[in-house]
Amino acid sequence: MSKTGKISKFSITNNIRKLRFHANEMTQQELADKTGVTRQTIVAIENGKYVPTLELAFRIARLFNTPLEEVFSFNSEEDPNK
Amino acid sequence: MDNKEKQVLVTAISMILIFGGYSLYVYNNYISEDLNIINDFKFWGKAFLILIPVSIVAQIIIHIVFAIINKIVTNEDMPAITDERDKLIELKTIRISHWTFLFGFFLSMGSQAMGMQPWVMFLTLILSGFISAMVSEVARFYFYRKGF
């Protein structure tokens, strides 16, 4: 990011855990099965260790019937040196 | 520790056991009897060609046994699918493994350029193959555990 824009650091957070809870306490395994990934990948996404591809992000959002922005949030910091 | 991490550990440990066992077998049965054999190209050709299928078959058997034991102990099935995260980790580890092996390949060719004996080249090649595979498993474990 720093090569082309002013954003130096960014993080992507998500509300998947909360959305699962509101979806009849859906388990990680159920979400994994419905989105075609392993439970370990869902665990990694929830813990912020893995940022999913756009395809998987849309699949998760569609499953919860919510816009993508309500599932994932993009947080960036402006680089003070730029 | 999840199943993917356990699988990586099993692969790494079995790799050490297979490579160590095979090296010991070759040393005891061939090299210790006639030290001159280490400069014989035919010997190294056979050693490489036999190690590859032996290693593949042993890895398959070890993983089947591990999956059975894991199912009995934890009552969990091994993941049947390979998803996007697995594929990304695979790509990253292949790249690390490739560069490690390439470094070993340059060392082995360097040994010949410096006029060393042929066994140095073959030993460097076989060791760089083993080390690159180990580095790849360590990287895989790191990516599964810490993320990327």
Radius of gyration of chain B (CA): 18
Q: Does A36 contact chain B (CB < 8 Å)?
A: yes
Helix (H) or strand (E) holding A73: strand A72-78
Sign of CA dihedral A19, A23, A25, A29: negative
Q: Cα–Cα distance between A22 and A72 in angstroms, integer?
A: 16
Q: Return the amino acid letter for A28.
A: Q
Beta carbons of B81 and A37 less than 8 Å apart = yes
Total domains present in chain A: 1
Domain that holds residue A21: 13-74
Out of A37, A47, A49, name the one closest to residue B83 (CB).
A37
Does the beta carbon of B2 lie under 8 angstroms from any beta carbon of chain A?
yes
pLDDT at A73: 93
* Nearest CA-CA partner of A59 in A77, A40, A33, A81: A33
- Residues A9-21 pLDDT 10s: 788 999 999 999 9
What mean pLDDT is reported for chain B? Answer: 93
Residue A48 sits in a domain of what CATH number?
A: 1.10.260.40
pLDDT tens figures, B56-113: 999 999 999 999 999 999 888 887 889 999 999 999 999 999 999 999 999 999 999 9
Bridge partners of A75, per DSSP, are A11
Q: What is the pLDDT of residue A3?
A: 47
Of A48 and A77, the one with more pLDDT: A48
